[in-house]
Structure 1
Amino acid sequence: MTDTASGRRASVIAGLGAWLPPQQVTNDDLAAYLDTSDEWIRSRTGISTRYRVDPGTSTGDLAVAAGELALKAAGGIGVDAVVLGTTTPDRLCPATAPEVASRLGLVDVPAFDISAVCTSFLYGLGASVGLIAAGMAERVLLIGAETFTSILDPRDRTTAAIFGDGAAAVVLRAGDPQEPGAIGPLLLGSDGTQSDLIQIPAGGARTRNSTVPPPPEDHFFRMNGSDTYRHAVERTTAVARTALERAGWLPEQVDRFAAHQANARIVNAVADRLGIPAGERRLANIDRVGNTAAASVPLLLAESVASGRLRPGDRTLIAAFGGGVTWGATTVVWPDVPALLG
């Protein structure tokens, strides 16, 4: 486990933006062509609706929309780097971030993708904090964006019911470690022995170089639900506890818990283990947007700021678990910054 926090030159949240596609998909919409029901989905995931991009809309399109809003929320300041967390890049090659930067009018800045599935935003946060701590950037635009429905098997009710599309972004600036909005201890980890838990089996070099063509269904996203639940609860709880210890916080001092919105049961199980009671201290939006993977954490933060659920001064614990498998957590005393929603 790597602690990437810097005790000197901190990264401070300066503004947030989020964008959801216009097409809302209800549980009843899914039940029209899948062997499922509104009650089945709600009871197992806590999800009632999610959003889906229109044909022809790419992850880069969502990233640009969210990035524009975040830059505007931060006062229209320029940035020195763009980091894009995504599981669904526009192409296998090249990365999507350079084109996003160009479309945002950011010329000659470094831009790159981060792929850690649902932990991509926290991994991207680690990269952004590192750029600022090293003096390579004064300001970084960090985006989480997904067109996750593009990789789902439309016949698989377990994944089709959970995932949705969306994007959100955060502008980070160099600042003082003690000021509100400064990213606290940031913990990241992985366990590659569990790489088969969450995967798209085909499409990479392993199957391209195989003498046996993969079956068509191997090009879709797969998840071992029961094992993923167990690992997600255990790993997220452990890394969140460590982040609290490094920050010098007790669980009862946490005002808001912003967990990756994987599944309501997972989020609540982790919060229960941490001793964070049900209610307003547990931020949630999974009922409306589903699991948006790399976009999940920043989307939750942006929506919570915009709705007033996340307020200046709130001690906020952030945590996520994703494919790889990967996990991460950090803390922040929430600053007085705007969040713009599209």
Structure 2
Amino acid sequence: MPKIYGAEVVGLGKSLPSKCLTNQDLEKMIDTNDEWIQSRTGIKQRYIMGEGEALSDLCVNAAKQALEQAKLDVDDIDLIICGTFSADYRLPSLAALVQDKLGAKNTGAFDINAACTGFIYTLVTGAQFIRSGTSKNVLVIGADCCSSQIDWEDRSTCVLFGDGASALVLRRNEDPNVGVQSSYFGSDGGGKESLWIEAGGSLMPITKEVLQEKKHRVSMTGKDVFKFAINALTTSAKIVLKQEGLEASDIKLLVPHQANSRIINGAAKRLDFNKEQIYINIDRYGNTVAASVGLALRDSYDEGLMKSGDKILIIGFGAGLSWGGTVINWSID
């Protein structure tokens, strides 16, 4: 049988835009208020891109942090994968821009668009390149510039999202029980209209009418997404735990996609996780789509909530509809 390697997490990084937009700032822009936003989402503030800021630059900043922690040089990386739905350009990929700006000469690069599940898809894809022996060191990035994709007059969406980038370095380990373990993915394209951008693709190119009707902006059916998200988070967690032969009590930390604090807490109750096992930082950043799980991993690590030997469960869910999760056998102290 072919040898299976371990895909060990050895570095983490994050980067945020310079502008912080609080709920109080939004009160001056649209018909909303801080109490309404916090009670329904848990969000207090979010960061948004300013003039001259590029998502690829945030990715590079996050990547450099992760590489420094991993004690690796840029040329040690042989693959870069970016999860995003809002790259700097339609072409080329965000990963190609990151490769160029990092000066990485020995690497392939490509993007994955799985929206809010993007970090999970990207991480597990990178892990498979390592576990199969194809790659030695993979740079995984989750990043989105949501502020350029939403309608700032639609309070049902503009209060939810923020911009940011997160990065993670995977390194080959001889022990297959180290790092990223089994995973689970799900998808339901029939639910696409619950959370989508209708125009801007090949089916509906940008026209004057599209711009007037704002079909090039994010559109969401909140009630449908809320119900889907709780079920997707719960289902993904249960399946991954079963695959690994684990119970909720075996998990040191559940790090879910940060979409809404009510979604996370609602799913946690169904899964029998206690409050101390759930990591939530949506109050700081809002929903940063593909960046969110990586931001949460970096923050929880910085807060001393995980150590070598811990089992970390990460879950994503979002547009597609898509969902999935994996367990990481943590090895960074």
Q: TM-score range by the shorter chain?
A: over 0.9
User: What is the aligned partner in structure 2 of residue 23 from structure 1?
Assistant: 19
Question: What amino acid is the match of 1:72?
Answer: E
Question: What amino acid is the match of 2:270?
Answer: R
The correspondence for 1:94, drawn from 77, 92, 95, is 92
User: What is the aligned partner in structure 2 of residue 122 from structure 1?
Assistant: 120
Question: Does 1:68 find its partner at 2:64?
Answer: yes
Q: Confirm or deny: 8 A CA contact 1:259 1:318 kept in the other structure.
A: yes
Instruction: Report the secondary structure of 1:195's partner residue.
Output: helix
How far residue 76 of structure 1 moved from its aligned partner, in angstroms, is 2.5
User: What is the aligned partner in structure 1 of residue 136 from structure 2?
Assistant: 138
- TM-score, structure 1 as length reference: 0.92
Q: Confirm or deny: 8 A CA contact 2:151 2:217 kept in the other structure.
A: yes
Instruction: Report the secondary structure of 1:69's partner residue.
Output: helix
User: What is the aligned partner in structure 2 of residue 170 from structure 1?
Assistant: 168
Question: Does 1:222 find its partner at 2:219?
Answer: yes
Q: Distance in 1 between matches of 2:326 and 2:172?
A: 17
Question: What amino acid is the match of 1:27?
Answer: N
User: What is the aligned partner in structure 2 of residue 287 from structure 1?
Assistant: 283
User: What is the aligned partner in structure 2 of residue 340 from structure 1?
Assistant: none
How far residue 130 of structure 1 moved from its aligned partner, in angstroms, is 2.0
Q: Distance in 2 between matches of 1:332 and 1:58?
A: 31
How far residue 53 of structure 1 moved from its aligned partner, in angstroms, is 1.4
How far residue 212 of structure 1 moved from its aligned partner, in angstroms, is 7.5
Q: Confirm or deny: 8 A CA contact 2:4 2:133 kept in the other structure.
A: no
Q: Confirm or deny: 8 A CA contact 2:177 2:329 kept in the other structure.
A: no
The correspondence for 2:230, drawn from 216, 226, 233, is 233
Instruction: Report the secondary structure of 1:220's partner residue.
Output: coil
User: What is the aligned partner in structure 2 of residue 199 from structure 1?
Assistant: 196
Q: Distance in 2 between matches of 1:55 and 1:153?
A: 18
Q: Distance in 2 between matches of 1:319 and 1:47?
A: 19
Question: What amino acid is the match of 2:177?
Answer: Q
Instruction: Report the secondary structure of 1:173's partner residue.
Output: strand
Question: What amino acid is the match of 2:319?
Answer: G
The correspondence for 1:258, drawn from 255, 260, 264, is 255
CA RMSD of aligned residues (A): 1.8
Question: Does 1:248 find its partner at 2:245?
Answer: yes
Cα gap change, 1:125 to 1:296, in 2 (>3 Å) = same
Instruction: Report the secondary structure of 1:229's partner residue.
Output: helix
User: What is the aligned partner in structure 2 of residue 311 from structure 1?
Assistant: 307
Cα gap change, 1:244 to 1:202, in 2 (>3 Å) = same
Q: Distance in 1 between matches of 2:208 and 2:284?
A: 44
User: What is the aligned partner in structure 1 of residue 44 from structure 2?
Assistant: 48
Query: Which structure 1 residue ranges, 5 or more long, are not aligned?
Result: 1-5, 338-342
Question: Does 1:37 find its partner at 2:45?
Answer: no
Of 93-102 and 296-305, deviating more is: 93-102
Question: What amino acid is the match of 1:178?
Answer: N
Q: Confirm or deny: 8 A CA contact 1:15 1:171 kept in the other structure.
A: yes
Q: Distance in 2 between matches of 1:226 and 1:7?
A: 46
Cα gap change, 1:136 to 1:270, in 2 (>3 Å) = same
Q: Distance in 2 between matches of 1:251 and 1:213?
A: 47
- TM-score, structure 2 as length reference: 0.95
Query: Which structure 2 residue ranges, 5 or more long, are not aligned?
Result: none
How far residue 211 of structure 1 moved from its aligned partner, in angstroms, is 12
User: What is the aligned partner in structure 1 of residue 154 from structure 2?
Assistant: 156
User: What is the aligned partner in structure 2 of residue 79 from structure 1?
Assistant: 77
